[in-house]
Structures are given as structure tokens and as C-alpha cells.
Chain A
Amino acid sequence: MKRAIIAAFAAIIMGSGAYADTIKIGVVGPFSGPFALQGKNFKAGIDAYMAMHGTTIGDDTVEIIYRDLPAADPAQSKALAQELVVKEKAQYLAGFYFTPDAMAVTPILKQANVPLIVMNAATSAIVTKSPLVVRTSFTTWQTSTPIAKVAHDAGVAKVISIVSDYGPGIDAENAFKAGFEKEGGAVVEAIRMPLSTNDFSPIMQRIKDSGAQGVFAFLPSGPTTLGFVKAYNENGLKAAGIKFFAPGDLTQESDLPALGDAALGIQTTFHYAVSHDSPENKAFVEAASKAIGNPAELSFPSVGAFDGMNVIYKMIEATGGEQDAQKAVDAVKGLSWISPRGPVSIDPESRHITQNIYLREVTKADDGSYYNKEIQTFEKQGDPGLAAIK
């Protein structure tokens, strides 16, 4: 008798489960350690989306499971992804700040029947590793190519390229070089400096001696960027009229208060500025600021996460909550919507986001704060890096 009651209960619980599922999304990102700020931005973007669009789709409830990966660590990334899929029964994997971490997960997607939504990792090749990868962030190629045109239009013919010696830096160097040479300019020298560089005076001297009219730079955001921009001013390069070009990683919003006057006038190209003027962005910034606590900490990974959630919600709608990775990915191919960063779409071929890239200049607002002011738009930019790796 007792057993029958238990069985009946079990049947009810399992039966009702079929009607209203909990759909789990596993998010892997740096939530502690030196890159915790970026993880915080992931969470803010996700929280903002769920606050604006609710946590239920049809009868299904969406649940986010966060896993912390403080620094790039492919083995650990794979282990966390496997744990999320096997133990937590996550139907979607998302997040991933660093390229190696995202790369490490691609081999398990097919067998696990799980799509991967990359919310940041910016190397072009990731989307080619598995047909189940969709990316809602940007690639370094995508953001670095338009600045070459900007440099050329500014009347600069000779540029020296200075990048940190690691994956994204080399991507940026190649992207700029390809773009700039296509415009007819010349990269007179390309220097790769170690990631741990903290005194940039010798580099600045090198720039001066090269006779270039402009410098293209790529460094990871944070302390190195601050040191580089300060050295650029203090060693008289700005005064000498040597122009500064970079993708927007260098002037991300959370670094601007520290950069201060040193960054004024620096032009960067990027897919998102927190100051972007649109009703969608206003609503997003309001919700994300509330989620992150301190609005000054808000920067670009949040919008990648926000749009990533949009893609996942569309996938869940299309599959009706069933676990079918291929169907889910197919459903968002060609999907277009208005993101906080402007109009975007998922390219059906590459499954990478097509978006506007903006030229921005660091400007001082009336209240004394600094922001990236958008001054030019390059519409519907795909990822030129994919052509380059073929």
C-alpha cells in the first residue's frame, strides 16, 4: 500500500515535470579573481534580461547555474562544462570570457546535445570548431578592422603597431595590418611586447624613433592600459601629434575614471558604448546598473550576456523546452533584433553576430565624468577574421 502511494506520488511529480520543466542554463565565467569584474558584467547582463523578460517561457522556468573559472584554464573549463551537462542536466552552456576556455568546450557539445552561446571570447575561430556554437559578443578582427579606415581617413599614411604578445593582441595586429594596407597605408613596424610590461617609456621612445604618424595599440584592459595611455601622454607623443588608434577594449567604461584626462580625445572602434543613445540601451543600462550595484562598473561583457540570453530565450521558444541542440541553433540562424548596442543579427553561415561598429572618442561629460562618445557608425559589420583564417 505504502509503495503504491509513493509510486502514485512519483507519477504525479514526474508527470507534472513533463508539462512545466525547469530549463537550466550553465554559465561559466570569471566570477572571482583578477577578472571578476568581467564575470560581474556577465551576471548583470543576464540579470537585466531576466528582470525585463521574466524567468518563464511558456510553462517552463529558466534557471541559471553559475560556475566560476577565475583565469583562462581549458582543462578546468571542460570539467565544469561536463559537470553542468551531466550532473546539473544543463540544456544550454553560455558565458566564457577567454578563448581557450570556449575552445575546450566545443568538442563535447554534439554528444551532450547542448548549444554553446559565447558571451565574450573574441577569437574568430571558435565558431568554426562546432556547428552548435553561437556568439553574441564580437571578435577582435571585427572591432579592429574599421579603425584602419579611420586612421587612413585622418590622413595618416604610416602607422606603428604595438600589441601585447598574446592571442587577441596578435589578432588585432593582423586585423589592423590587413585593413590598413587595403586602404593604402603602411605599417612601418609591428612590435609585440610581453603581457607583463609595466614601464612603457622605452616603447614610447621606439614609437617616436619609428617616424610613424600614428600608433595602433592593443593591450588587455586594466593596469597595462592605464600605464600605456599615461606613458603616451607623458613622453610627449600626444603633444608631438602622433595619433592614437585602438579597438575599444582599451577605453572600456570601467577603466575610464582611472584613465581620466589622459584618455581624452583617444579614438577607438567598438561594438558597444554604455553611452549609446537609444531607448533600448537606456532600459538596458537602467536594469543592468541595478543588477551590478555600482553603475561605474558596467562595461561591454554585460551586453554580450544580455544578447546571449535573448538568443537562448528564442531557442527555448523554438524547441518548446525540449532538448534539441541542432534545432535550437537552426532557430536563431538569421535572427535579427534591436540590441542595446543597435540593430544586430546572427549570421546564418558563421553563427557570429553581425552588428554596427562605432567610432568613439573619449569625451568629458558636463558632470565631469568620462564617456565614449559615438561619432561615426560602420553599419552591419561581419567578422573579417573568418576569411583570414580560411
Chain B
Amino acid sequence: MQTVFSIAIDAFAYGMVLFVISIGLSVTMGLMRVVNLAHGAFAMIGGYIASYAAQDLGLGYAAAVLLAVFGTVIISIPIERLLYRRIYGAPELTQVLMTIGITFCIIGIANYVFGPTLKTIPLPPILQGSADLGFRSIAVHRLFAIVCGLAVAGGLWYAIEKTAFGVKLRASVDNASMAAALGVRTEIIYAVSFAVAVGLAAFGGVLGAELLPVEPYYALRYMVTFLVVVSVGGAGSIPGALIACLVLGGIDTTGRYLMPEFGEFFFYLAVIAIICVFPRGLAGRAR
């Protein structure tokens, strides 16, 4: 029984970290219909900025996180204007080629500027150490990640489903020219959503840095994981991504605890099974 609880807690914590890192990609792929393979690169930029701010500038953790999110968004603005704007609505292959190219450029720049060594983001004392849950201990920053994940999920769901901006966004996604004809300024809608997605990527990069340390190849190393989460959850669906993360986190953690020698067999078996039954992901909308 204790083992079951123990696995459940690890799975929940891992799933939430996955969620925070991947949800930005779900937004760009589902709502903006851009296959953004550079998502990990933006997460990495966020991680680097936070690491630089906290370690070299001596700022506090909260300030470092804010700086990382806004810094990454600012860096992404010219990229969106000059590059992404050309590929909205373009065929998937064009998008993949463009964004993987951007990824390689960012890897090269990160390697040149920060060097190939690992970078860490020092945690504030309150997030360090571990909390005692009675039958086992868990790292406090894991609990923090769970809280952040739930907050992000709730906030995004509210913004997309309940606000005027969300209505305009969904309208622009479903039929851009009709939305524009009705007076929705689709360019601004797209720019804002892109900024939100990039900001979430950066936030995820910082929050997940304890699990996925920041180094130049971060952008490529974890790309498959992000893409799996989005495709299993159904692109653009917040609840879908949440369920996908918890399910995949649970399967991965259980497999790793009980049969580590099978590696990621169960993880990918589950992915295959889910995609066979739900080709558009758990909560994907038919086009």
C-alpha cells in the first residue's frame, strides 16, 4: 500500500512538471496550428536567463523567474515578427523545417555564449530540502511545481474558455478570415498567444530545471517528450494535456519503479495504444 502511495506521489509530481513544460507547445500547436519544434529552445532560454540572473546577478528566485519569463518573451518578439509570421497557415513540413532551424541556431548561440557546461538555478531556502509526508519524504520544489502546474492549468482554462480574449482566439483559429471580417485583429491575437506560449515555455524551463537541467542541448534532448505529451493530450486542449501528463507520468514512474530494465517500453506502448484509440489525442477536436 505504501508503495502504491509512493508511486502515486512521484507520478503526480513528475506529471505536473511535464505539464508545465509542455503546455505552451500545446497552445502553439493546437490554437495557432504551428508545429513549433523550437518550444524547447524557448524553455532553455528561460532557464539560461534565470540561471544568469540568480547566479551572476544575485537576484532572488522570484525575480529570476519573472525576468526569465519576460526576457524570453522579449527575445521572441523579433523572432515572431520576422520568422513565425511567415509560417502561420503554411504546410506542416515548412513549419517543421523553419522551427528546427531556429532550434539549431539557438543551441549554437547558447553554446557560444554560456558554454557547454550545466547551469543550475539556485533555489531559495524555502524551496530547498524535503518535506516529510509521514511515510516518505518529497522534495519541496516538487510540491511547488505541483502547485504551479495546477495554477497554470486553471488560469489558462479560464483565459481560453471564459474571457473575451479566449473567444476571439478561438474564432481566429477556426476561421481567421471570417474573424478578421468581423473586426477581430487576428495579428494581435496571434502575437499575444505566441507571447503567452513562449512565456509558459520559459516558466516551464525554469520550474523544470531541477529535473531537466539547463544545457545547450536541452532544446533537442527533451523535444520528443514534449511532442508526445501534446499528441496524446490533443493539441490545444488544457484538460487533455493535464490528463495526458498524469497518465504518462504515472505509467512512466510505475514502470521505472517496478521494471526499470524495460526502460521506456511501457511509456511508448501506452502512447501507441492511446493514439490508436484516440488519433487526435485524448481531448483533440476534429478539424
**Chain A residues engaging chain B, CB cutoff 8 angstroms:** 33-34, 36-37, 40, 165, 191-194, 196-199, 201-203, 205-206, 209, 222-223, 226-227, 230, 234-236, 254-255, 257-258, 260, 294, 296-297
Our pick among B10, B129, B215 for the contact of A202 (Cβ within 8 Å) is: B10
Judging by beta carbons under 8 Å apart, are A191 and B261 in contact? yes
- Whether B7 contacts A202 by the Cβ 8 Å rule is yes
Whether A36 pairs with B130 at a CB distance below 8 angstroms is: no
User: Which chain B residue has the least Cβ–Cβ distance from A296?
Assistant: B117
* Contact A227 B211, beta carbon cutoff 8 Å: yes
**How far is A107 from B139 in the complex, measured between Cα atoms in Å?**
51
* Contacts known (A191-B261, A227-B211); A37 close to B116, Cβ less than 8 A: yes
User: Is B94 an interface residue, CB under 8 A from the partner?
Assistant: no
Give the contacts of B244-286 with A (CB-CB under 8 A): 252-254, 256-257, 260-261, 263-264
CA of A193 to CA of B139, assembled, Å? 22
Closest partner residue, chain A, to B108 (CB atom): A32
Q: A203-B260, A258-B118 known; 16 other A-B pairs, CB under 8 Å?
A: A33-B217, A36-B111, A193-B260, A201-B138, A202-B10, A202-B253, A205-B10, A205-B257, A223-B118, A227-B212, A234-B138, A234-B142, A235-B130, A236-B130, A258-B119, A297-B116
- Complexed CA–CA distance, A223 and B213 (Å): 6
Which residues of A lie under 8 Å from residue B254 when comparing CB positions? Answer: 202
B3 interfacial contact with A, CB 8 Å: yes
Contact A234 B212 (CB under 8 A): no
Given contacts A206-B257, A258-B119, contact A227 B14 (CB under 8 A): no
B136 at the A interface (CB under 8 A): yes
CB <8 Å contact, A191 and B260:
yes
Cβ contact of A234, chosen from B118, B139, B216, cutoff 8 A: B139
Measured CB to CB, the closest approach of chain A to B176, in angstroms, equals: 38
Contacts of B10 in A (CB 8 A): 199, 201-202, 205
Q: How far is the CB of B206 from chain A (nearest CB, A)?
A: 15
Docked Cα-Cα span, A97 to B210, in Å, equals 28
Interface size class of B (residues with CB under 8 A): 35 or more
Taking the closest CB of chain B, its distance from the CB of A37, in whole angstroms, is 4
Q: Mind listing 25 A-B residue pairs with CB under 8 Å? A: A36-B116, A37-B116, A165-B261, A165-B263, A192-B260, A192-B261, A193-B263, A194-B263, A194-B264, A198-B211, A199-B256, A201-B10, A201-B14, A203-B256, A203-B257, A205-B136, A227-B210, A227-B212, A234-B129, A235-B130, A235-B137, A236-B136, A236-B137, A258-B119, A297-B116
* Chain B residues whose CB sits within 8 angstroms of the CB of A297 once the complex forms: 115-117
| B interface with A by C-beta (< 8 Å) | 3, 6-7, 10, 13-14, 17, 111, 115-120, 129-130, 136-139, 142, 210-213, 215-218, 221-222, 252-254, 256-257, 260-261, 263-264
When chains A and B are docked, how far (Å) is the Cα of A165 from the Cα of B262?
10
The residue on A at minimum CB distance from B265 is: A194
- For A293, the closest partner residue in chain B by CB is B115
Chain A residues within an 8 Å CB radius of B218: 223
Chain B hits for A37, CB < 8 A: 116-117
If A34-B217, A205-B10 touch, whether A294 touches B115 (CB-CB below 8 Å) is yes
- Whether the pair B213, A227 counts as a contact (CB closer than 8 A) is yes
B213 CB to nearest A CB, Å: 4
Residues on A with beta carbons closer than 8 Å to the beta carbon of B137: 234-236
Of chain A, the residue at the smallest CB distance from B116 is: A37
Chain B residues near A258 (CB-CB < 8 A):
117-120, 213
